Amino acid sequence: MLKNIAVMVSGGGTNLQALIDAQERGELCSGRIALVISGKEGAYALERAKKAGIPTLVIPRKAYAAQEEFDRAILDAWREARIDLVVLAGYLSILSAHVTRAYRDRIINVHPSLIPSFCGAGFYGLKVHEAALDHGVKVTGATVHIVNEVPDGGRILLQKAVEVRDGDTPQTLQKRVMEEAEWLLLPQAAEMMCRELPPLYE
């Protein structure tokens, strides 16, 4: 039985595209992307989803006065689509403990470093790669982990190392980490989770 996957996005959706491509190649075969939710209007990731025929929703945090209302909107969308696994793919809102507990061990995230390096609150996007370069590390990479109440604190599922080269900028390093690690690991982790998880909805 195929598991239903929701992908949470905020921007261009390159990690979403990696998932779509893996699904089309048959590498992501134990689950299907059933819903894409964007945290903001106009995110290009929504266009990628529509092109692939995947239903989309926009649920911006600023549209809700209280965190509880935002949480309810997210959980209602997941439940309505009978979602078994949630993938955070460049999603910039922090999910509350209420949400992560409701889908315990069913939310995964890709982080652009080798956790526990350069992770936690405030480390996202180019800031992660800036920190890696500032520290002079020779190897960085990406990590896919379970999402819990602690930012980047859940159990590690997969990691892949990526070389840091002389002359790298945060932008060149970000691109290499995406191409050599993130776009490979995220579909692998999604497939692994879909194979292992019992269905959430009968």
DSSP code string of 82-141: T-SEEEESS--SPPPHHHHHHTTT-EEEEESS-TTSS-STT--THHHHHHHHHHT-SEEE
Parse the chain into domains and list their residue ranges.
3-196
pLDDT of residue 50: 97
Q: Which of these is catalytic: 111, 129, 135, 145?
A: 111
What is the band of 65 on the pLDDT scale with cuts at 50, 70, 90?
very high
Please indicate whether residue 111 is annotated as part of the active site: yes
pLDDT of residue 13: 96
Domain 3-196 class in CATH: alpha beta
- The answer to pTM > 0.75 is yes
pLDDT digits (tens, 9 = 90+) for 80-108: 999 999 999 989 888 999 999 999 999 99
What is the band of 1 on the pLDDT scale with cuts at 50, 70, 90?
confident
The chain-wide mean pLDDT, for the chain, equals 96
pLDDT of residue 202: 73
